[in-house]
Chains A and B, each alone.
Chain A
Amino acid sequence: MSHRSKQILVFCGVSLLLSAGLFFGQQVIQTQSHNTVEGIEVDLTSLEIQNNIVTVKFKLRNTAAEKQNVTIQFKDCYIMDEVNQKKYYGLKDTDGLYVAGPAYDDQNGGRFWYGIQAGKSMGLWIKFPQPTDNPASITISLPGVSPFESVKLAK
């Protein structure tokens, strides 16, 4: 086998491993535990900024042996710019609903309220305004969940 062929094989192998990782797994930026619902782990899986809007995605995993009910009121979710001592709540549309989901109902602008079966997970997303002072990192706070600290804000 020529040197060139070996290089191609190595390249393909690395590409295969990389794509398999993205295909079968999911990137996790940070994980925190729910403070009151046993066995619920919350993965921060994505943070994107577009048009001065920060979109965050989470995955709530139930690692307990039983189904767990999880409530997250969108009105109580916010991001913090600790350097400039400011916090920003989720964006609310003209109907008074938070631009977030999935929402069980419209109470208080919408809330995530679902039973997650043992061993299963559910996604959650919320849109926030980008902090005005362009901090390098933020803290993300969800009610009942330990804060996601020092999350880098990269465009």
Chain B
Amino acid sequence: MKSLALAAFLVFCLGPLFPLSGGRAHSGVDPAFQSGKNAEDPVIPADAQERAILALKALGADRRAKAISFETAGILGVSKGVGFDSKQVQKTLKELEAKETKTTIQIDLPGDVLFDFDKWDIRPDAEGTLKKVGEIIKAYRSPNVLISGHSDSKGQEDYNQKLSMRRAESVRDWLVKNAGVDAGIMKTEGLGETKPVAPDTNPDGSDNPAGRQENRRVEILIKKQ
């Protein structure tokens, strides 16, 4: 009797260590959304290992290994230019919610703040923000600034690309004219809807206005000296 009780207790204790089933069956539905639990612990589809084995065979003996390359010291060098470490500049970076790396500063400006709907003229109330951008470019003595216009995916792709290009050019022109930034260091590109930062639709296919709003933007990438 004691042995039976002990055995039952051990099964209870050790059961989770030795599951009887090898795993949940793949239902064909995206595993992340089968249930709340699965979203946290997604099921790897049953055919995944087979697909991986075939993929591995196709790679050949070297398994498509790539050599690791490191950025040059020149790129990694950080500018000691006038004013870049001043409190004012740091405060401005914070206000602009800039993302800073060793070599670049990225500033994302919401399209809805800079422009009216379907327009590419700078809104007067956006000028304060752009003035701050100009101050950052000059403080870092940036040799290279890339201004990229982005749109959401609503409307014609070609139209969105052109609108995003015009908006990028408007920002450049404003910085030249009003902030004294050298036109020669700035490049512009219109990426339209090709580089979204948020889903335009929800997982169930419905519209995601918040996501589309995030996607309508101008990104300014300032390379440090």
Whether A associates with B in a native complex is: yes
Interface residues of A, Cβ cutoff 8 Å to B:
8, 12, 15-16, 18-19, 22-23, 26, 36, 50-53, 55, 59, 69, 71, 80-82, 85-89, 91-94, 99, 101-104, 113-115, 120-125, 127, 129-132
B32 touching A19 by the CB < 8 A rule? no
Q: Name 16 A/B residue pairs within 8 A (Cβ), A-sorted.
A: A12-B6, A15-B13, A86-B65, A86-B67, A87-B68, A92-B55, A93-B52, A94-B54, A101-B30, A104-B199, A115-B199, A120-B39, A125-B42, A127-B48, A129-B64, A132-B63
Residue in contact with B44 in the complex, picked from A55, A91, A114, CB distance below 8 Å = A55
Residue in contact with A87 in the complex, picked from B48, B53, B65, CB distance below 8 Å = B65
Would you call B198 an interface residue if the criterion is a C-beta within 8 Å of the partner chain's C-beta atoms? yes
Does more than half of chain B's interface fall in helix, strand or loop, or is it mixed?
helix
Interface residues of B, Cβ cutoff 8 Å to A:
6, 9-10, 13-17, 30-33, 39-42, 44-45, 48-49, 51-56, 58-59, 61-68, 99, 197-199, 202-203, 211, 214
Query: How distant is the Cα of A26 from the Cα of B217 in the complex, in angstroms?
Result: 39
A-B interface, 4 closest residue pairs, ranked by CB to CB distance from nearest: A102-B32, A91-B55, A129-B63, A15-B13
Given contacts A104-B203, A114-B32, A127-B52, contact A87 B39 (CB under 8 A): no
B42 touching A122 by the CB < 8 A rule? yes
Please name all residues of chain A whose beta carbon is closer than 8 Å to the beta carbon of B58 when the two chains form the complex.
Answer: 94
Query: How distant is the Cα of A33 from the Cα of B39 in the complex, in angstroms?
Result: 20
A19 touching B17 by the CB < 8 A rule? yes
- Write the chain B residue with the least CB distance to A52: B56
Query: How distant is the Cα of A93 from the Cα of B51 in the complex, in angstroms?
Result: 6
Query: How distant is the Cα of A86 from the Cα of B41 in the complex, in angstroms?
Result: 30
A129 touching B54 by the CB < 8 A rule? no
**A-B residue pair count with CB separations less than 8 angstroms:** 130
A132 touching B62 by the CB < 8 A rule? yes
Please name all residues of chain A whose beta carbon is closer than 8 Å to the beta carbon of B32 when the two chains form the complex.
Answer: 101-102, 114, 122-123
Query: How distant is the Cα of A121 from the Cα of B9 in the complex, in angstroms?
Result: 33
Query: How distant is the Cα of A25 from the Cα of B91 in the complex, in angstroms?
Result: 42
Please name all residues of chain B whose beta carbon is closer than 8 Å to the beta carbon of A69 when the two chains form the complex.
Answer: 197-199, 211, 214
Residue in contact with B54 in the complex, picked from A93, A114, A120, A123, CB distance below 8 Å = A93
Query: How distant is the Cα of A19 from the Cα of B43 in the complex, in angstroms?
Result: 21
B55 touching A16 by the CB < 8 A rule? no
Please name all residues of chain A whose beta carbon is closer than 8 Å to the beta carbon of B39 when the two chains form the complex.
Answer: 120-123
Please name all residues of chain A whose beta carbon is closer than 8 Å to the beta carbon of B68 when the two chains form the complex.
Answer: 80, 82, 85-87
Given contacts A12-B10, A123-B40, 7 further A-B contacts (CB under 8 A): A51-B56, A69-B214, A86-B65, A87-B65, A102-B33, A115-B199, A115-B203
A53 touching B64 by the CB < 8 A rule? no
Given contacts A89-B64, A99-B51, A102-B32, contact A12 B42 (CB under 8 A): no
Given contacts A19-B15, A51-B53, contact A102 B42 (CB under 8 A): yes
A101 touching B13 by the CB < 8 A rule? no
B9 touching A12 by the CB < 8 A rule? yes
Query: How distant is the Cα of A71 from the Cα of B65 in the complex, in angstroms?
Result: 25
Residue in contact with A113 in the complex, picked from B10, B56, B199, CB distance below 8 Å = B199
Residue in contact with A19 in the complex, picked from B14, B30, B56, B203, CB distance below 8 Å = B14
Query: How distant is the Cα of A18 from the Cα of B9 in the complex, in angstroms?
Result: 14
B14 touching A123 by the CB < 8 A rule? no
